[in-house]
Amino acid sequence: MTARHGAWRLCPALALSAWMLAGCAPGEDFSRFGCPNVVGINELSRQIVWQPGAAGRGAGDTVAKAEISQILPSPCTIDRNGVSVEAKFEILAVRGPASPTPPEVMVEYFVAVLDPQQRVLGRQRLTTILPFASGKPNVRVVEDVQVRIPTTDRERVRTYSVAIGFQIDRARAAEVQRYWR
């Protein structure tokens, strides 16, 4: 997978699997087979960034609130080594009263590839900056991550998924849900 900020590979086992799978001709019409589904994980679609070291979780301690608000059309292509998915999604964020100066906030998210049985084949943590303009309370960021799926089984490729969410644990996700207003 690659993002605007860098690149990564899933893992050697996946690369080997992709190499071993049968291929199809480059440039083959792939639209009739469908692409893997790109999905946001609802419980991990919101993030609140609190001021480091803040004693409480009050509104005054909020640096920013961010939400994966929309999964955008995510085209794919196939070659003899697998499927490439261009996973696109939008993050909307609102600046909080504890926002730093300059008002840039960093958030971590993940992108995972799931096989037809919903097992995680690969997962990567990525980071993006929420670049609030001076005096502006909101920002919209579109992330575009290139994902490689090691299958050329054109009949089954749409049964794979690409899952996206903020990189937070269950306790943190529950906390975000309690304080989200």
Angle at 146 (CA atoms; ends 159, 165), nearest 5 degrees: 70
Residue whose entry in the numeric block shows the structure tokens 């001709």 = 25
pLDDT digits (tens, 9 = 90+) for 22-61: 333 444 545 566 889 999 999 999 999 988 876 667 778 8
pTM of the shown model = 0.78
What letter does residue 42 receive in the DSSP assignment? G
| Residue extents of the structural domains in the chain | 2-179
Distance CA 44, CA 35 (A): 23
pLDDT digits (tens, 9 = 90+) for 137-164: 999 999 999 999 988 787 788 899 999 9
For 85-104, give the DSSP string: EEEEEEEEEEE-TT--SS-E
What confidence score (pLDDT) does residue 1 get? Answer: 53
Backbone angles phi, psi at 95, to 5 degrees: -75, 140
What letter does residue 76 receive in the DSSP assignment? E
Average pLDDT over residues 74-89: 90
Average pLDDT over residues 88-92: 97
What confidence score (pLDDT) does residue 100 get? Answer: 76
